Amino acid sequence: MVWRCVSRLENTGLFCTASTILEDTLKEKIVEAINVAVSGKNTFLAILKKNIETVLSEDLDESTADIDKRLEELQTELIQKANLKEEYNNIVNEIYRLRDLRQETLSRNALRQDKRGRIAEMTDFLNTQTGDITEFDDKLVRKLVEKAIVYDDRLMVEFKSGLEIEVNL
């Protein structure tokens, strides 16, 4: 079995120059990249620790409490104005804006939490791995690897934690 760009088989509008790669070679090189991470785990653990600190310090989860409080106030004001048959379009627009802001905030928080989880998974793996991986493990690869990019002479393996390792083909 071989792997190749989908644009070679379907008209995607994209042009791909990457070579076809045998599945066994792809698996072998992904295992090699995982072993590079394991053998250099002290270096990579330091990088992951720095990544965790960055995610925790720069991307603190944002509270929606203030937004929720303001939405409640605006909804009360909207009801009062509607009962008095006063103009309330500005209030409605502000409610829509705050609802969108609240959803964006929740989405950003979820992404940050996901990234923290991915970094923690890779850290746990490196901390518990005592030796090289000897064969391809689909479950492990799906847990750790985000994607692999094939170039003419190398393979770039991007882990879900953000760690990238390049191996020669």
Average per-residue pLDDT for the chain: 84
Q: What does the pLDDT look like over 110-143, one tens digit per residue?
A: 888 888 888 888 888 888 888 888 899 999 899 8
- Average pLDDT in the 23-28 region? 92
User: Does residue 127 contact residue 63 with C-beta atoms inside 8 Å?
Assistant: no
Query: What is the predicted pLDDT for the residue at 130?
Result: 81
Q: E strands of 4-144, at which residues?
A: 21-22
Query: What is the predicted pLDDT for the residue at 60?
Result: 58
Query: What is the predicted pLDDT for the residue at 149?
Result: 87
DSSP one-letter string for 46-85: HHHHHHHHHHHHHSPPPP-HHHHHHHHHHHHHHHHHHHTT
pLDDT surpasses 60 at 105: yes
Q: Return the C-alpha torsion angle 106, 112, 118, 121, nearest 10.
A: -100
Q: Which two tokens stand for residue 85?
A: 């048959």
